[in-house]
Structure 1
Amino acid sequence: MIRFEDVDVAFGEHRAVSHLDLEIQEGEFFTLLGPSGCGKTTALRSLAGFVQPTGGRILIAGRDVTRVPSEKREVGMVFQNYALFPSMNVRENIAFGLTVNKRGQTDAKKVSKAEQTRRVNEIADRTGLALSQLDKNVSELSGGQQQRVAIARALVLTPRILLLDEPLSNLDAKLRVQLREQLKELQHEVGVTTVYVTHDQEEALTLSDRIAVLDAGHLQQVGTPEEIYDRSGTPFVCRFIGENNRLTPAVLISLGSGPGAPALDATAESYVRPEKLHLAAPDAAANSPASLDGSVVGRTYHGSHSVYTVAVEDTTLRVSVPAGASAHQWDAGDAVRVDVDPRWILQYPAV
């Protein structure tokens, strides 16, 4: 459905997107993920037609749209601040694109008043807006309701592609979780190809069919949430996504020294995530081919899990223990054993 071919976007001397090659399949929920300034919003805006690439091509369904005006690309856009019209009520905001079309925009479809009403009512229902809210001014709505209006306004035009630029970032944490679940359900129901921009890793992992991670304008990795998290392709992706422990050469040598221990490169840049480690008493039966002796430094409680800081060799490791996973709670100074499954150690050649 979407193809970026060696796309560059530069603003003066600054190259915001560099040699971007990317394919997005029809019907996918695809996320552009990365820190602030990585180029993800610029890439999205170039797909929307708001930013002109300085090199390469963008194709939609095989059609080169690199120089095609935004309104002729069949895309719907939801902005971070929603960009709703404060002087209009909810119904008028949703119907705006249909109204503009009716007034004779180039290549516009003629939409009757009855058809406008039908489509607005239908999309309002699908996006969770009550009919009783349609005659309210948008300023009377909560942030979550305004976000639904912005999505409804984009979808009422039946675009082939829906673009969302950090649409949940202005909402409180609990509402973000609720709305992202509803957004995923809506996308599956409508079936529209969706490109989503966020810096929030949890949003990306829970919403996406696939994720592209960008850094400083460069594409780092494309994959499913599981691939991005469990098999991070570069050190940057590993450090950016989730929590991790960096393993020192002394730790790697110790892990590789026992009988049946894994072959590990002690010179490599190496990481393991806290939840991939297992904490046990020193005399407990081993459940992994590699382990480290250590002592507890401290514990932090997170409700669903606890994170222990454990001193091993010349460093400390964070070990995540799910609530209820162990009947034992360790205190600072307790001797423990950290079991390590080498399958979860991510190693990258030293630069």
Structure 2
Amino acid sequence: MSALSESISQRMTLGYLRSHYGLKLVPNYAEEVTITSFVDDLASVRPGSLYLPFLRDIDTKTDQLRLALTEGSQGISDDTESSHAAETDLGDSHDAIDSMPGAEDVSNILRQAELRGAYAVLLPPEIAKRYSGELSIPALVGDLDAAKLGQVLSKAAGDPSASLAVFALVGEDTSAAAEQLADFLHTLGNPVGLLSKHKLTSLDRSLDMEVPLNMFDVQRALSVCLEDGAAAVVIAVDSASMQADALQGVHIDVLGVPAGQEQHSRAIGPVGRLHEMRHNRLNSVARHYGFALSSQLQVAHPSDMTDEIARQTMHSDDPSQTEELSLNIAMTMAAGVKRSHIRSALEASQELT
């Protein structure tokens, strides 16, 4: 499991969740009940949990119910382990109810959640009609799509990405590039976290999670990195590292596309000004992983200037290494690091090696 409970930064009441996310609360007098963890697998339920056994798929074309009732899907508590359940895509809401495990099985799962100490359960309206009468704990009724759930989890974790410099590398396989960028940021004197398929770290310690990460895992990892004193986090945004919607609720500061992943344009600037970027592809990637293309997001690519700095500070004739370093320089400059500081750090690093 991946979880925030004792370390959760924002205590939330059922009344807050009801009023801010368009949910109904049964019974109404349970508004002051405080939730201390968000969990979507039964094994992770503990006293204080809001149990989310059903989550609405973000895909508006299918708008299917996603059933996550088997032990091994993810939650938010205080461990950095993650296990993943098989997901069953169901049809429309009526077919979903008919296709679910038998009523006795679902009733038993909800009963077990109560026995484990769940303070409340979130149920879609169609499911609530059938099972809410069997509950002796409060029920929030409604649908949390991926965007809303990401907001909830981010707020519960204290919105860690807002306090970190978040760098994201987009492509088919960006783990190696992410590790190189993390090493580069470390060379510049930054304590760094890294989230990629090959390496999950908060500064020097490993995070015990399974990839690809989901949004529960990502918020937990960012929270741990912030608690450990990281100034920046590098995220490999590819299918082997991140699940769909994993970056819901995550504020990304700088986005980069490594060499070989997409044709580079020689510019750095706000998304709205980069007309030469392949916006359709970038928008598609953003929708898939759940991050926002806001005016504050910087998209960085190598320029003639960053190429020159890379060549001057490297003792290598390998053009691929120069291009990798040039992208790293471009991304750190997009984050506001001065060129003189980058050059000095690189020269000092070369002298040491």
Using structure 2 for the length normalisation, give the TM-score: 0.25
Counting helix residues as a fraction of each chain, which structure ranks higher?
2
What is the TM-score of this pair, normalised by structure 1? 0.25
**Structure with greater Cα Rg:** 1
